A and B are shown apart, each in its own frame.
Chain A
Amino acid sequence: MTVEAHTESLALARRGRPRFGDLALRVLSGGAVLLVVAAIGLLVEEVVSNAWPSMSKFGPGFLTSTVWNAVTDQFGARYLIEGTLVTSLFALAIAVPTAIAIGLFLSELAPRRLRAPIGLMVELLAAIPSVVLGLWGIIVLGPLLATDVEPWLHRNLGFIPLFSGYPSASGLLSACLVLTIMIVPIVASISRDLFESVPGELKQGALALGATRWEMVRGVAIPQVSAGLVAAVMLGFARAVGEAIAVAQVIGSANRAPSSLFGQGGAMAAWIATQFAGTATSLQRSSLYFLAVILLVISLATNLGAQLIVRRIGRRMGTRA
């Protein structure tokens, strides 16, 4: 019998002595848990019920319609969904290799003395408030893109439709880059933890067999942590999809098909941020809640998926160890 259980049974034996403190703590702490559950439940209820007028009027057609017109009271989210996907996936495409490389650097390649400071700097990058990043995006990044980067891309890669528009300070490319800066620290710190968790014997074994460091990484470390990396990428994706503020500041607010990265577009979260305070009709407000429902579904599904992957790894590691 553990000490705890023994003590408990002794306590029970002392009949007539109510353990008021324990009951109070259990009620309080359990109440806190129920409060959190209630808050999440209320969140879903409130968002869905406010979205209901729009959901019942437009149904699944909301996801395929491209019209967003407050005059005719017709709303559809297709261009916004496309804009969200384009900016988030492009940001992921740049951020994930960068972040994994940083994770490798911090766990394997960096001299020991540098690991803590550079690790700290990567985490500080995550701590930058998104509104500050947006401010930087408008005033520093935007003009840079408009006068140097985009014209260069247009001159050299203009045959690709993505780089075919007219250079502009605000637009999808600005949003992509700002999102990249946000995703990198998340994925980097998770990959660093993952690489550090690879059992030393496996790494040493590969090196002892004559593999170069890169071969060891590619052949041993990455396969070991691949599931975790997938989870990290999913979390990065969820972050990018959910970012409203910085994207709203730089994306140019247009309900248009995202055909060129130089053009303006709309992303769901940013659309809510710019339109919500000034909706002209109640159906418009309801449609913005509908966007919030879509965002909630995406974030919950992605997070849940990432959590399940993490749990499965944990279980596998548990049995292996």
Chain B
Amino acid sequence: MITTLVYGFTIGGILYILSIGLSLTFGSMRIVNFAHALVYTTGAYFLVVALRTLGLGFLPAAAVATVAVLPIAAGIERFVIRRLYGESLDYAIIATYAVLLIGVDLIKWVFGATPIPLSDPIGRDVALFGISFPLYRLLIIVLAISIHGVLYLFFKRTIVGKIVVAGLEDKDAVRSLGIDVDRYFAIVFLVGSGLAALGGVLYAPITSVHPYMGFQVLLISFAVVIVGGMGSLQGTFLASFALGLVISITGRFWGPAAETMVYAVMAVVLIFKPLDV
């Protein structure tokens, strides 16, 4: 049972790192960003390149992969998302989905569609409550919690964070103070994308790297955002770990149903808490 819990928290940690960008992008720009999955997948593929082609160790490779994704994310923001500000949500969904399609096809073109397996970068187990766990998974949990701490401080203490929070609350009021809100939202978008890439990098050694890895995770990530409340840091944090546990506990009893259970939970949440967006 403890194993299940730890695995659930690992998935929750990855989900949090991935979903936070999605949630903030939605809260700030009112845009549902399917291209987030592309950033995630690209991060994982860049990790493969950094490890295999450049021959780097895992830590430098992870850093390189995460940073290398940022220009791509900036391009998506500049040429697709920025042009859709204030437009109908439907067009944003369709356009970012189109970006996802293009990107995934590009990845298939360059890397092929075969899944690439990666090994556990640490490969050591630690004993906890008399059961041994891969150290890597425990580190992911720690990392997710510390990222949450840093983001929390960022939004509470720094001026950039405060502007973003205020912008989430009332964009026009902040703009009337002479602050270019969209620039700050662009920063948030980049931070979110960087984290998504990091999520892909961290998850890659646990599963395998393949072009469609983003599609599956994105759906769950959307569920996290809906359950946790769009644009809410705390809600996303709690929802990620709760749904991570849902996945691992369901998976323990009936493997194939694990992801479906997430949507069931989401539906139940929506029945009691319909959201108006």
The answer to whether A and B belong to the same complex is no
